[in-house]
Amino acid sequence: MNCRRPIAHRIRKTPLGRELVLSLYTKGCRYARCSFCSLPALSAGEAAVSARDIRAQVDHALDSYPAKMLAPVQRVSVFNSGSVLDQRTLPTSALWHLFERLPELANLKLVCLDSRAEFIEAWELDGLLRRLDGIGLEVAVGYETQDERIRNRVLRKGLSEKTFQGLCALLASKGARLKAYVMVKPDPSMTERDGVEEAVRTLRHIAALGGSLKLAVCAHLNPTYVAKGSRLEREFRTRDYSPPRLWSVVDIISRMEGAGLPIQVGLDTEGLAVRGGTFRNCGLCDARVRKALEAFSGAQDFASLRALSCPCRSL
């Protein structure tokens, strides 16, 4: 991997307008204990990636687009294979360089930074908001499930409910937003119905928490795939775990109609899934349902999901 090039970058449509997604190549995740995750494989591991290298990645991504493509962008989301707000993996000076280039996006309204909760502190939020100078700030956190047993004993996430709710209160007090990642059917012991019910409970909990704190929240719903080298791969091999059906994702979203919670759907396996370890339907309707879910992420149109059908849905 070229340390002066990002892992990926693209412009896509979202409920909040055009979004520039920037995935930076950095040192690996300091935590690196989540049982389902193999994203550290996309990082430099323990090797150093300098602030200068990361600044070059930012420049490469932004310089890849003509001004007419950047002009409609209303949102920028920044990821790495760890935590954007962990200075060990992404030096602050490199993040500031990105912020210095944001004025090139004339219609930018929101910047989203992906991080583990322990790296999000009040003083740093203050600094980020000052530099954004009126542009909104959203912090994306892997919450995964409202069930602490699954989150911490099965997924080994290392995130207590107390810590999560404390983070929500902090973000609300600063006028920042929250994006919570939610996994569908993350526990190998779950049935398909269990996975749907747990995801719905989690989304409703996030919506209620946002309402009680007056915190702007959205959810990023990720059907679980079996990542190479993860603990879940061992469960997949030995216990015949089946990733969730795309129909289950449709069912979960449909049950959230009227809840006022914007939901995006993550259908990317980052090329890290094992053979047979991805979300699917019967094979005949997969492309059509995927396309509808991707369109929903942009338009939040529940009617488009109601129009979907296939004989395999009832199986």
Q: 50 pLDDT exceeds 90? A: yes
Q: How far is CA 91 from CA 82, 85, 125, 141, 294, in A?
A: 13, 8, 15, 19, 33
**64 lies in some domain:** yes
**244 lies in some domain:** yes
221 lies in which domain range? Answer: 8-299
Of 130-139, 164-173, 203-212, 260-269, give the lowest mean pLDDT range.
Answer: 260-269
**30 lies in some domain:** yes
| Rounded (5°) CA angle 154-201-214 | 110
Model confidence pLDDT, tens digit, residues 112-159: 999 999 999 999 999 999 999 999 999 999 999 999 999 999 999 999
Q: 16 pLDDT exceeds 70? A: no
Higher pLDDT, 79 or 237: 79
| Rounded (5°) CA angle 157-162-167 | 85
Enter the pTM of the model. 0.93
**148 lies in some domain:** yes
Number of domains composing the chain: 1
Rg of the chain taking only CA atoms, in angstroms: 19
Specify the CATH number for the domain of residue 139: 3.20.20.70
Model confidence pLDDT, tens digit, residues 300-313: 999 999 999 999 99
Average pLDDT over all residues of the chain: 92
**3 lies in some domain:** no
